[in-house]
Amino acid sequence: MAYSDKVIDHYENPRNVGTLDKADPNVGTGLVGAPACGDVMRLQLKISDDGIIQDAKFKTFGCGSAIASSSLVTEWVKGKTVDQAMTISNKDVARELALPPVKIHCSVLAEDAIKAAIDDFKKKREARQQKA
Ligand code: FES
Ligand code: FES
The catalytic residues are: 37, 106
Which of 42, 109, 101 shows the shortest CA–CA distance to 69? 109
Residue nearest atom 3 in ligand 1 by C-alpha distance: 37
pTM comes to 0.93
Q: How many residues does the chain have?
A: 132
By CB atoms closer than 10 A (0-12, 13-18, 19+), residue 51 is: middle
Residue nearest atom 3 in ligand 2 by C-alpha distance: 106
Ligand 2 binding site (Cβ under 6 Å of any ligand atom): 34, 36-37, 39, 62-63, 65-66, 103, 105-106, 109
CATH topology of domain 5-125: Sufe protein. Chain: A (3.90.1010)
DSSP character for 17? Answer: B
Residue nearest atom 4 in ligand 2 by C-alpha distance: 63
What is the residue extent of each domain of the chain?
Answer: 5-125
Tens-of-pLDDT digits for all 132 residues of the chain? Answer: 678 999 999 999 999 999 999 999 999 999 999 888 899 999 999 999 999 999 999 999 999 999 999 999 999 999 999 999 999 999 999 999 999 999 999 999 999 999 999 999 999 999 988 887
Write the ipTM.
Answer: 0.69
DSSP state letters, 43-103: EEEEE-TTSBEEEEEEEEES-HHHHHHHHHHHHHHTT-BHHHHHT--HHHHHHHHT--GGG
